[in-house]
A and B are shown apart, each in its own frame.
Chain A
Amino acid sequence: MTTSRPPAAPRTLAEELRARPDDELAALLLARPDLINPVPGDLTQLATRAGTRASVVRALDHLDKFTLQAAEALAVAPDPCPYATLAALMSGDAPDDPRVARELPRAVAVLRGQALVWGGDDRLRLVRTARELLAPGATRPSPTGLGPSVAEATAGMSPGRIQQIIAAAGLPTTHDPVTAVTALTELFEDRTRMAALLAGAPAEAAAVLDRLRWGPPYGTVTAHPAPHLRWLLDRGLLLPVGTGNVVLPREVALHLRAGRAHRTPEPVAPELAPVTEHAERTVDATAAGQAFTALATVEELLKEWETGGPLVLRAGGLAVRDLKRTAALLDTTEPVAAFWVELAYAAGLLAADGDVDERYAPTPVYDEWLELPTAQRWTRLATAWLTATRAAGLVGGRDAKSRTLAALGPDLDRAPAPETRHRVLALLATLPPGASVPVETVLARLHWERPPRAVTGPEEDLRTRLARWALTEAELLGVTNRGALSGHGRALLPPAAGADDVPGPLRPAWRPPTDAELGAAGVRAAGLLAPLLPEPLDHILLQADLTAVAPGPLVRPLAQTLGVLANIESRGGATVYRFTPGSVRRALDAGRTADDLKAFLTAHSRTPVPQPLAYLVDDVARRHGHLRVGAASSYVRCDDEAVLAEILADRRSAPLRPRRLAPTVLAAQVPPDALLDGLREMGYAPAAESAEGDVLITRADAHRTPPRTAPAPLQEGPPAPDTTLLAAAVRAIRAGDMAATAERKPLPTAAEPSLGGLPRTTSADTLAAVQAAVLTGTPVWIGYVNAEGAASQRVIAPVRVEGGFVTAYDHTADEIRTYPLHRITGVAELADDHA
């Protein structure tokens, strides 16, 4: 079949993909991983899937600015489009930026690699879906700001009107509208003739054209347009779309733009400048200091939540009031507090406890975390932050239904978050150590790498916001300092990060780092961070104003004991503790004795224990425990001390657990009625006493609830299937299994429909055939089973295939209808003689 003659130009994307070597296909699949999910059966299926709307949108989303601009230019160019035409569209009639010409081959290569463009350089073809997405429609301008072409804009115009226009434009009249339109298009595309035409334009008309030049190309006119507008309309320089609206045809705009599809082509990524250099050592040290603060903050937060953490809202998340309280506790703003809370949550240190009135509390992982060396504790937080999809920055904002987004609540996950964080850090990593650039520069670069889709509303697009948050959060976490990436922050990234400054022809889609990679990065970062962190101290300084100053972080046992014995007054590099009667009492409550505490202070203080402090401890201890409080369920009172002594001595009283509080009072640990029974069994005749000391007369009093219905049994899971359903399910499974494994006879040819049965094709073939029909605009014949199971045959002209539905003009019903693909039993082409 193959001969020695050069391979013919591919006729479809599938054909071209078939001709591509394996590694290119692999690269394509790597760049667009959605194509292998699930694995396509063959290249036709692959090409079909690559042409679906969802997949194309996704691929376009991942293009850099210049590549996207090239794609946009292709969308307004003739199809197919020679490379030279594209180049002209990109750089215009008078190329002034040599970088455009230099970078364009790369852009085309990327598009080709992504299977968005196919065909040789002489006939580049943009995938049809991409073209639809990017090309200007009748009412929708393209990102280029260009309108529809003359041919498209005049589609519904009466032939007479077209003839008038070409006459006004100074062209000879033609016999039919098609040639007239062609002639007009040619005129508009001819720079010299066009210049001559426009030279005669009134000044106001030129101004109107100038206003519409870079788009949007639409304007409105009244029923009786002003003379200058009339002049433009007469010559087809503005064409009507609908009533009162006009559009600047693409060819005219291109002439006005000197052939350029974009006002400013952006062939290369904006530079990361101006660079501010900080001393690398300072950046690392200060970032380490901040890293330490971050740990202290998280620890403080979780320590506070150890007892009586905030309640979980019914809708999930933290109440605004609790967030406020947390912010006050951490002495920070609410957004920052939300960040710390979310960070602890992402690192698994914090979760809802799942109790009846659900509260947030530290997890067992927190205890393990506390045992880790300081540097490793930090890397645990940092890596958790880096890979989390939760975006703390959203807290306090509102969702689509304008409900407030709560910290720790649902709907805070944003899939692009980890990628954005990685990318931001990777960009900073391309700078020399200690160097920083302004935030806006980083954002501009990200914008270029992944231009946001058309922005709607005043809010910035998600990625930009995520990037902003990433920068602030990195600073809080001590990953960066003064905008510069620290040494340990750099170590968190894969070793090659920062090298891929210029996006290659086919950058593989970002994938989150594996646990092993993260682990390795964590070890690297911890190694760099550890020496920068302050050594924990084992001593404090005691002062006469009843404060203790720890001039640095303390070893944990010391910090814990001191935390009980004194209140923390100020934090930072050092910690200031204040001793108050209350704090000393707390320590005594925790089981310490006065001597114990004084010995502890003497042992850990660099300075002698001040007299007032020792006095304070003694003074509080003197009063501590002076009053004793306990719980007793009931008591026995008797004026005869001997009787009480008797009860105590009686072995039968043991289950009542009596304890003598005073000569005439016994306390017991059983409820009064049990105590009464017990005493009666022992042969006494006790009487019950009210709170006021009166003797109670007891009668058996039957207690009733208000009317209640019996509880409905709780259903666990869906009801069990009955036998018929079960049998049907098994049959269906068996049938499917058989179909997949059975050896088949070759299918009968397409002549079969004439037999009157429904056409039968596999679903992949159906999809391919319907999509081909969309491209060619030809009607097809389908078999269709409706929701009630009724089969029918229809002739349809598919218009669009997306999301599992075919939208088509149904010749049988004479209207536009939408068919689910899975209900189409098969597709067959119509015989040629069909109208």
Chain B
Amino acid sequence: MNGPLIVQSDKTLLLEVDHEQAEACRRAIAPFAELERAPEHIHTYRVTPLGLWNARAAGHDAEQVVDALVAYSRYPVPHALLVDVAETMARYGRLRLLKHPTHGLVLESTDRPVLEEILRSKKIQPLVGARIDPDTVAVHPSERGQIKQSLLKLGWPAEDLAGYVDGEAHPIELREDGWTLRPYQRQAVEGFWHGGSGVVVLPCGAGKTLVGAGAMAQAKATTLILVTNTVSARQWKHELVKRTSLTEDEVGEYSGTKKEIRPVTIATYQVLTTKRKGVYPHLELFDSRDWGLIVYDEVHLLPAPVFKFTADLQARRRLGLTATLVREDGRESDVFSLIGPKRFDAPWKEIEAQGYIAPADCVEVRVNLTDSERLAYATAETEEKYRFCSTTATKRRVTEALVARHKGEQTLVIGQYIDQLDELGEHLGAPVIKGETTNAQREKLFDAFRAGELSVLVVSKVANFSIDLPEATVAIQVSGTFGSRQEEAQRLGRVLRPKADGHEARFYSVVARDTVDQDFAAHRQRFLAEQGYAYRIMDADSLLAGEEA
């Protein structure tokens, strides 16, 4: 009774990291418990029904879960919790979606009362067809996703064993010349392929694109890749051409500007969700080829309409890639039922410890508003307050000081408000990338930044996702999208790419003291701290004073 784990009554698990059995324990609980916080000493995992079902889907049974809890727990585990775990896990797999030789897609149950219960639900009734025998009911093939979604909501998640169509075959090989998949990337690909469909969770900069490429090399079939924006689409294309046997011509881009459909097609969420006259005109992309694999980049940003389309794509293999399963809109359960359970997960710190992503030094710089600014802030309209305090002039001086301090290092200045960024760009003499910047211009600037011709770049939130800036070692955030946690993660990701010289990355967040800016920053930083990135707080005055000294 001296294990590293403490089981809390709210179903969180506290893992003492410095304990000698901590590593073994982490391995034992990782399949079913979601890592919620990973600060320096005690990691918090949470046991949720989704987590337990993820574990079931990955082939773990309740006994293993209970054993892990009992074996590593420091104090006796409440019996009720163990019973609850066993009961929750038993709910998964009572219902299975199968392919029936004559009836097509069917829902089969090993527990007749459960089947009766769900068939009485108004949500399920329109999705099912005739009762084939007491334990089996036909399901309209088009409702495969819908029914999974609804069943999960009813608390009886179905195990999808109906299999996948192979899709149109297309030869794809990884070209490992001078590089190889990292061990965790290989595990992620294997985990995904074994499970059929699902989500791989890897931190930013850990090489999610390569996991996608690895999965494509496994599938050897035509692939549809959905990404967040055009820049990201180009980078995918670039990587795929570089790392695999695919040629430029085999990879198509389907975006606002180009509408290419090739064996491997990269489409943006934006173009798919464009609505004209009440219809989604680009939806036919999904049916334009017999896709063998669909890759969703940044699953946590998947727009709601795409969920709807995805519901109809349940016969195809689906791979979700993301840095975090946390969705600001709380639709984690839709990711589970429509894309698939979590297939691989590695905490940031661990990958960082293996040297694949750069360590980061996070600093919050607190700026004092001047008296006149404080008065103006106090009298500002509520909806204007955030804008006001996050674009205060004092911030500009601090940012300039920071840029000056890291002169010669590749520095990104990230912000939310365009006029603030324009002003900063002007003062710093740096180009600004914002929504209206053309893609060609963006790529040109990125290339210049990459090549070291430019050392400071001011970017708006358009650059939040998927752009690859390997040499950025300093990021300065002057304003954020309120308290968005995943944005913070993305921005931190900007500087976490491995650096050539192993230099420590720096992440500055400039925050106005005693304003809502500080509250939002606290919310975002809590996420950082929970990911194990200890941050420091500095006073702007001492920073400026230090500059002068």
Residues of A within 8 A of B (CB): 282, 285-286, 288-290, 293, 331, 475, 481-482, 534, 541, 543-547, 549, 551-552, 570-574, 576, 607, 610-612, 615, 623
Query: Quick check: is B536 within 8 A (CB to CB) of the other chain?
Result: yes
How many residues on the B side are at the interface (Cβ–Cβ under 8 A)? Answer: 32
CB of B279 to closest CB in A, whole Å: 46
CB-defined A-B contacts under 8 Å, sample of 5: A285-B76, A475-B79, A543-B42, A611-B537, A612-B525
Write out the residue numbers on chain B whose beta carbons fall within 8 Å of the beta carbon of A549: 14, 41-42
Asked if B280 is at the interface of the complex by the 8 Å CB criterion, the answer is no
| B79 in complex: contacting residue of A286, A543, A572, A607, CB < 8 Å | A286
- Residue from B7, B41, B74, B77 in contact with A541 in the complex, judged by beta carbons closer than 8 Å: B41
Q: Are B12 and A612 in contact (CB under 8 A)?
A: no
CB distance from A428 to the nearest CB of B (A): 16
Q: Which of B13-67 contact A (CB under 8 A)?
A: 14, 16, 37, 39-42, 44
Determine, out of B140-148, B166-174, B394-402, B526-534, the stretch whose residues face the partner at the interface.
Answer: B526-534
| B residues less than 8 Å from A534 (CB atoms) | 75
Q: In the bound complex, what is the Cα–Cα distance between A544 and B8 (angstroms)?
A: 21
The verdict on A551 contacting B76 (CB below 8 Å), with A546-B526, A607-B41, A612-B535 known, is no
A571 near B41 with CB under 8 A, answer no
Q: Is A289 a contact of B76 with CB atoms below 8 Å? A: yes
Report whether A615 and B42 are in contact in the complex, using a CB–CB cutoff of 8 Å. Answer: no
18 other contacts beyond A293-B78, A612-B534, with CB at 8 A cut-off? A286-B79, A289-B76, A289-B77, A290-B79, A534-B75, A541-B16, A543-B41, A544-B529, A544-B534, A545-B39, A545-B526, A546-B526, A547-B42, A551-B16, A570-B9, A573-B73, A611-B536, A612-B535
CA distance A607 to B42 in the complex (A): 11
Are B10 and A570 neighbours in the complex by a CB distance under 8 Å?
A: yes
User: Are A571 and B39 in contact, CB atoms less than 8 angstroms apart?
Assistant: no
Chain B nearest CB, measured from A469 CB (Å) = 17
Are B9's CB and A293's CB within 8 A?
Answer: yes
Q: Closest CB of chain B to A165's CB: distance in Å?
A: 55
Q: B residues bordering A, Cβ < 8 Å?
A: 1, 6-10, 12, 14, 16, 37, 39-42, 44, 73-79, 364, 514, 525-526, 529-530, 534-537
Distance (Å) between the CB of B426 and the closest chain A CB? Answer: 33
A623 CA to B525 CA in the complex, in Å? 22
Chain A CB within 10 Å, residue with most, of B1, B79, B534: B79
* Residue ID in chain A nearest B13 by CB atoms: A572
Q: Is the CB of B6 within 8 A of A574?
A: yes
Q: How far is the CB of A374 from chain B (nearest CB, A)?
A: 14
Ranked 8 nearest A-B pairs via Cβ = A572-B8, A545-B529, A573-B75, A289-B76, A286-B76, A544-B534, A543-B39, A574-B6
CA distance A611 to B537 in the complex (A): 7
Q: Choose among B42, B74, B75 the residue with the greatest number of A CB atoms under 10 Å from its CB.
A: B75
Asked whether A571 lies within 8 Å of B9 as measured between CB atoms, the reply is yes
Q: How far is the CB of B47 from chain A (nearest CB, A)?
A: 12
Q: How far is the CA of A552 from the CA of B6 in the complex (A)?
A: 9
**Also in contact, A572 and B10, with CB within 8 A (given A286-B78, A544-B534, A546-B526):** yes
> Shortest CB–CB separation between residue A568 and chain B, in angstroms?
11
Interface majority SS (helix, strand, loop, mixed), chain A: mixed
How many angstroms between the C-alpha atoms of A539 and B114 in the bound complex? Answer: 49
- Of all chain B residues, the one with the shortest Cβ separation from A297 is B9
In the assembly, what is the distance between CA of A481 and CA of B14, in Å? 24
A481 to B37, CA, bound (A): 32
| CB nearest to B514 among chain A residues | A623
**A545 to B6 CA separation, bound complex (whole angstroms):** 19
Of chain B, the residue at the smallest CB distance from A285 is B76
Contacts A286-B78, A545-B39, A571-B9 given; does A551 touch B530 at CB 8 Å:
no
Q: Which residues of A contact B77 (CB under 8 A)?
A: 286, 289
Contact at A290–B529, with CB atoms within 8 Å?
no
Given the known interface contacts A289-B75, A546-B529, the answer about A615 and B537 at a Cβ–Cβ threshold of 8 Å is yes
Q: Do the beta carbons of B514 and A543 come within 8 Å of each other?
A: no
Q: Is the CB of A576 within 8 A of B44?
A: yes
Q: Least Cβ distance of B326 to chain A in Å? A: 15
Q: Compute how far the CA of A551 lies from the CA of B42 in the bound complex, rounded to whole angstroms.
A: 9
Q: Report B5 CB to chain A, min CB distance, Å.
A: 9
With A331-B10, A551-B14, A574-B14 as contacts: A288 and B41 at CB distance below 8 Å: no
Q: Is the CB of A289 within 8 A of B78?
A: yes
Are the C-beta atoms of A573 and B534 separated by less than 8 Å? no
Contact between B9 and A552 (Cβ–Cβ < 8 Å)?
Answer: no
Tell me how far the C-beta of B104 lies from the nearest C-beta in chain A, rounded to whole angstroms: 44
A615 to B521, CA, bound (A): 15
**A572 touching B6, Cβ below 8 Å:** yes
Nearest-Cβ distance from residue A797 to partner chain B, whole angstroms: 63
**How far apart are the CA atoms of A572 and B7 in the complex, in Å?**
7
Q: Are B79 and A482 in contact (CB under 8 A)?
A: yes
Complex Cα gap A551–B8 (Å): 11
Contact A573 B74 (CB under 8 A): yes
CB-defined contacts of A481 to chain B, threshold 8 Å: 79
What residues on A are CB-neighbors of B536 within 8 Å? 611-612
With a cutoff of 8 Å between Cβ atoms, the chain B residues found around residue A286 in the complex are 76-79
CB contacts (< 8 Å) of B529 on chain A: these are 543-546, 612
Given contacts A285-B76, A573-B74, contact A544 B39 (CB under 8 A): yes
Chain A neighbourhood of B535, CB < 8 A? 544, 612
Structural contact, A545 and B530, CB atoms closer than 8 A = yes
**Chain B residues whose C-beta falls within 8 Å of the C-beta of A288 in the assembled complex:** 76
**A768–B211 Cα gap in the complex (Å)?**
99
C-alpha gap A289/B1 in the complex (Å): 12
A437 to chain B, nearest CB (A): 16
A286 to B7 alpha-carbon distance, docked (Å): 12
Smallest CB separation, B6 vs chain A (Å): 4
A91 to B530, CA, bound (A): 75
Residue pair A541, B526 in contact (C-beta under 8 Å): no
Which residue on A lies nearest to B19, using beta carbons?
A: A551
Q: Which residue of A lies closest to B14 (CB)?
A: A574
Query: Closest Cβ of chain A: how far from B189's Cβ, in Å?
Result: 32
How far, in Å, is B453 (CB) from chain A's closest CB? Answer: 37
Contacts of B7 in A (CB 8 A): 572-573
Q: Which residues on B sit within 8 Å (CB–CB) of A282?
A: 76
Q: Are the C-beta atoms of A610 and B534 separated by less than 8 Å?
A: yes
- Given A285-B1, A286-B76, check contact A551 B6 (CB 8 Å): yes
- B532 (CB) vs chain A CBs: closest residue: A544
**Which of chain A's residues have a CB closer than 8 A to the CB of B79?**
286, 290, 475, 481-482
**CB neighbours of A482 from chain B (8 A):** 79
Residues of B contacting A623 with CB < 8 Å? 514
Minimum CB–CB distance for A835 against chain B, Å: 73
Inter-chain CA distance A282–B66, complex, in Å, is 14
Q: How far is the CB of A667 from chain B (nearest CB, A)?
A: 27
Contacts of B40 in A (CB 8 A): 543-544, 607
Complex CA distance for A290 and B14, rounded to whole angstroms: 18
Q: Which residues of B contact A572 (CB under 8 A)?
A: 6-10, 12, 75, 78
Interface centre among A285, A293, A552, A576 (most CB of B within 10 A): A576
Instruction: Give Cα A544 to B10, complex, Å.
Output: 22
In the complex the two chains form, what is the Cα distance from A519 to B530 in whole Å? 49
Partner of B75, one of A546, A552, A615: A552
- Chain B residue nearest in CB terms to A289: B76
By the criterion CB–CB under 8 Å, are B75 and A570 in contact?
A: no
- Chain A residues lying within 8 Å of B364, measured Cβ to Cβ, are 612
Q: Which of A285, A288, A551, A552 has the most CB of B within 10 A?
A: A551
Q: Which of A282, A549, A552 has the most CB of B within 10 A?
A: A549
- When distances are taken between beta carbons in the complex, the residues of chain A under 8 Å from B16 are 541, 551
* CB pair A571 B8 closer than 8 Å: yes
For residue B534, give the distance in angstroms from its CB to the closest CB of chain A: 4
With both chains docked as a complex, state the minimum distance between the C-beta of B304 and any C-beta of chain A, in angstroms. 31
Question: With a CB–CB cut-off of 8 A, which chain A residues contact B526?
Answer: 545-546
Residues of A within 8 A of B42 (CB): 541, 543, 547, 549, 551
Alpha-carbon distance A285/B76, docked complex (angstroms): 6
Contact check, B39 vs A576: say whether CB atoms are below 8 A apart: no
Q: Give the residues in chain A near B6, CB-CB below 8 Å.
A: 551-552, 572-574
Most interface-central of A534, A574, A615 (chain B CB within 10 A): A574
Residue of B nearest to A296 (CB): B9
